[in-house]
Amino acid sequence: MRFKQRIDQSGRVRIPKSICEQLAIEPGASVLMTIEDDRIVIQHDLNGDTAQSLTSLRGCITEETKRSDAEPIDPIKWKMDSPV
C-alpha cells in the first residue's frame, strides 16, 4: 500500500484514515519516526500506548481478585482488538 501526501506549511503529514484503521492508530496515539537511508519511517508506538494503558491498571487485579480460570492477556492483541 502506498500513499502520496503533501507536507503542510507547519511540516505536518496526515496519515490516511485507512492506515489508521488498519493499524488501530487513534487520535493522540504515539508514533515513532526514524530515518532509514533516504526514507522517513513512521511506526505505531504500541509499547508507549500499551504501557501507559496497562500502567493505569496496575494494582487493580491481585491474586485475591483474579479469577482462577482467567486467560492471560497479550497486550499487543488487546490493543489491536480495541474499538477505534
Q: Most confidently modeled of 33-37, 66-70, 77-81?
A: 33-37
Q: Would you state the pLDDT for residue 82?
A: 63
Q: Is the pLDDT of residue 4 over 70?
A: yes
Mean pLDDT of 39-60: 72
User: What's the whole-model pTM score?
Assistant: 0.49
Cα–Cα distances (Å) from 55 to 1, 30, 74, in that order, read 34, 16, 15
Residue 81 has pLDDT above 80, yes or no: no
Domain ranges of the chain: 17-81
Bridge partner residues of 35 (DSSP): 40
- Judge whether residue 49 has pLDDT over 70: no
